[in-house]
Structure 1
């Protein structure tokens, strides 16, 4: 079990604290899930550089290719790492006819943003974890190709080992259901190869 300070920082030898205030966007009072990402950058430092920009997007942790774990945001703060969430009931084929109609209308009015707005009127677990109630973990990793042909590289074995450890510790410490741990494309409209080979 992890010790987490009042500031939301993990106190453990395996975690290096390197907080970027620019990626923190308000208080997060509850955690319902974890979302695993890949950076699309070749080094941790290039991602850290982007995290210093005003209004930057980012995640709570970054795992370098050698397996080093960096905490980059407080676990008590929201980071913008998910984007527009998918509909849980549509993804699991468990929508009522009324909900199907409401989702279609929301999509018609605003496409993915409209569907996201509709989903965010729901409480978890009726919706997927979102920015306001999930921890983001980035794996340093590039993609090959352009546009829809982009394919993310597989995480290194060291990244997967660190990811398994970190997710197991977060699940235990924060009482997160293991079923609520997702690769980014499972919860949002992202490249389907992102974090596809990540193991936890």
Structure 2
């Protein structure tokens, strides 16, 4: 289905934030049916009036909070997809949202293209988590056996996950709006920081860390 035919509901208690992201979705995402809600009550009423394909929801709103909205909406309309878009860089909160039924979790510190990628993934029925949260989750699983993973930046971690998923430098560049040359440079820095000399060693580390399924 064309993006122009899909209905999206933006839920955030800051009008300026809603306006900014609505502009992004309409101008860069090609979405023409973008509605807004200031709080969970307005969002639920909007769903009753015209069910959206996707709800992009902040978590920190006046009661009931975004997490409760996810549970309430999905309890009645399980076909609706939720993407949480929040300032909270919290592993526990991200897990709680995913457990409640959200399909994506993106922090507001992420670049605009990350939000657009997340929307595409969630609408396609896949899950998505921004690289900063994925990195923290990987580190929390590893505990004392981090092997240099905590030396990687969020961008480097993002590229690492895409590399071990089998993406080429050109494909990763297209996804991240970077040149293939830049991706090659990041690839080199990753191997340097992790003290490996080949992609085979890099893949072995990724398998040991549980990163063979991309956490992007």
Give the structure-2-normalised TM-score.
Answer: 0.27
Q: Using structure 1 for the length normalisation, give the TM-score.
A: 0.29
Structure with greater helix percent: 2
Question: Which has the higher relative contact order, 1 or 2, with Cα contacts under 8 A spaced 6 or more apart?
Answer: 1
Q: Highest Rg: 1 or 2?
A: 2
